[in-house]
Amino acid sequence: MIKLLKNSPDLLTPSIEVSVEEILTEEFQDLIEKIMDEIAESGGVGCAAPQIGVNKRVFVYRYGGEYIVVINPVYIKRTDIVTNHGEACLSIPGAFYNVKRCKTVTIEYLDRSAAKQRLRAPNKKVAFILQHEMDHLDGILITKGKKL
Q: Tell me the per-residue pLDDT of 107-141, one tens digit each, with 9 for 90 and over.
A: 999 999 999 999 999 999 999 999 999 999 999 98
On average, the pLDDT of the chain sits at: 90
**Do 48 and 72 form a contact (C-beta atoms < 8 A)?**
no
Give me the active site residues, please. 133
What is the amino acid identity at position 37? D
- Rounded CA-CA distance 132/113 in Å is 23
Average pLDDT over residues 56-77: 97
Give Cα separations from 15 to 11, 55, 57, 69 (angstroms).
9, 5, 5, 16
Give Cα separations from 90 to 26, 65, 70, 87 (angstroms).
26, 19, 18, 10
Quote the DSSP letter at residue 33: H
Average pLDDT over residues 55-60: 97
115 strand-pairing partners: none
- Domains of the chain, CATH where assigned: 9-147 (3.90.45.10)
> Strand 146-147 relative to strand 116-120: parallel, antiparallel, unpaired?
unpaired
Average pLDDT over residues 63-78: 96
Q: How far is C-alpha 145 from the geometric centre of its chain's CA atoms? A: 17
**Do 67 and 46 form a contact (C-beta atoms < 8 A)?**
no
Q: What are phi and psi of 14, to 5 degrees?
A: -60, 145
Tell me the Cα Rg of the chain: 14
